[in-house]
Structure 1
């Protein structure tokens, strides 16, 4: 007998190379609001945010200080919990995950690059990059860390501690650490804010290149319109509200 072709009503089966996480948007915010503080000190930081970011897209978030940009990233990374709405990351609703569940999820799916680097001062560059991999139980943590440091141009600095590295080199370590677990989402909060203009440009080049090579969704907060303009898409925060926009004919490279 000849095999019977499936009818249009039958569900589509994903190939082995395609998981539900890969087919889902990287980020979905649905009617998200967040208030920080209590009583007279309460401040509504995020207000009715709806945002969808397709997998693999680069998005720049701009806006004045106090507009809610960094809080948006904190919610996206599960470091802040919302008062209302739902947050989906890589196909998973993270809104009600416990702290332990969120930490495990973040370790697998989210990389974070901070403005102030947040490297462990008494660890070498290699150890700093290997830490999240070791926490995830990776037996090859140091091999992967070494490859990532090589990829950001620091193969000859693996034994140096943060105090022995320049600001640009420290941010390269931070990028390597964020990308080492191969996250589906890379979040960067003012990644060039503490660097001089030329070093900042080099770090931006590296950040976009490595995210593109890894096929990682990149979301960054910046006060620099030039940096935001390199993203495929830009969104502006104003007093806790989101205003969407598209950077015309701009790629992530």
Structure 2
């Protein structure tokens, strides 16, 4: 078994067609060790959020391979991919993506219910309590602050105890102090569970809290935080990893 939870090899992806086509990922390669936290940085339009969607199995590559925890995503059917994602990948979005007519408890239980867990609500309740929302279980998203909604989203992502936690600008819609609290919570939860965390952010201070920083520009990895290393780690990223 590989020591890498994530192995991305020669990933190539174009979105759109004809004159609207955009070459988003260009022969990108990246490996991430299990249990590590990695911050993805880059200007708008650089491909960093698309990279996350590929790792989450929400975008399929035109060419190349993506393997998560030993499972190649490319050959999986849509149903098999959804099942794999539900069991192994937690996702936290910038805009929370909570269902307005469901309570915090119901929102957090969704992935567990989809996985057929009979203990879905018990596990969701414990996850919400762990992020400080034990007294807000029956509140609807509209009754919660932005920080509380993001806590629900984090609880929902972590409840199945995924091997991989993906976060796309998790503090982007929050004020500075609330964002710091959410970042503290996210990293504490990642350390406690031992999951691998990959997050996209425009905030260098947030990325600096990760074990490693990967800089993406124009669909390619410009610097993956390992180049020039003499600690025995392989160089990853772009054509250097071929």
TM-score by length of 1: 0.88
Paired residue secondary structure (1:156): coil
Map Cα deviations across residues 42-61 of structure 1 (whole Å, 9 max, x no partner).
Answer: 11000011100000000000
Q: What is aligned with 2:182?
A: 203
Q: What is aligned with 1:221?
A: 200
- Mapping for residues 11-50 of structure 1, pairs under 5 Å: 20=1, 24-50=3-29
Q: What is aligned with 2:232?
A: none
- Mapping for residues 57-68 of structure 1, pairs under 5 Å: 57-68=36-47
Q: What is aligned with 1:234?
A: 213
Alignment counterpart, residue 122 of structure 2, candidates 143, 146, 153: 143
Larger Rg: 1
Q: What is aligned with 1:178?
A: 157
Task: Report the RMSD for the aligned CA atoms in angstroms.
Answer: 1.3
Unaligned runs of 5+ in 2: 230-242
Unaligned runs of 5+ in 1: 1-19, 249-253
Alignment counterpart, residue 171 of structure 2, candidates 185, 188, 192: 192
- Mapping for residues 151-166 of structure 1, pairs under 5 Å: 151-166=130-145
- Following TM superposition, by how much is the alpha carbon of 1:96 offset from its aligned partner in structure 2, in angstroms? 2.0
Map Cα deviations across residues 31-70 of structure 1 (whole Å, 9 max, x no partner).
Answer: 0010011122111000011100000000000000000010
Q: What is aligned with 2:60?
A: 81
Q: What is aligned with 1:90?
A: 69
Paired residue secondary structure (2:135): helix
Q: What is aligned with 1:11?
A: none
Q: What is aligned with 1:134?
A: 113
Paired residue secondary structure (1:86): strand
Q: Which has the higher contact order (CA 8 A, sep 6+)?
A: 2
CA distance in 2, matches of 1:187, 1:213: 16
- Following TM superposition, by how much is the alpha carbon of 1:97 offset from its aligned partner in structure 2, in angstroms? 1.0
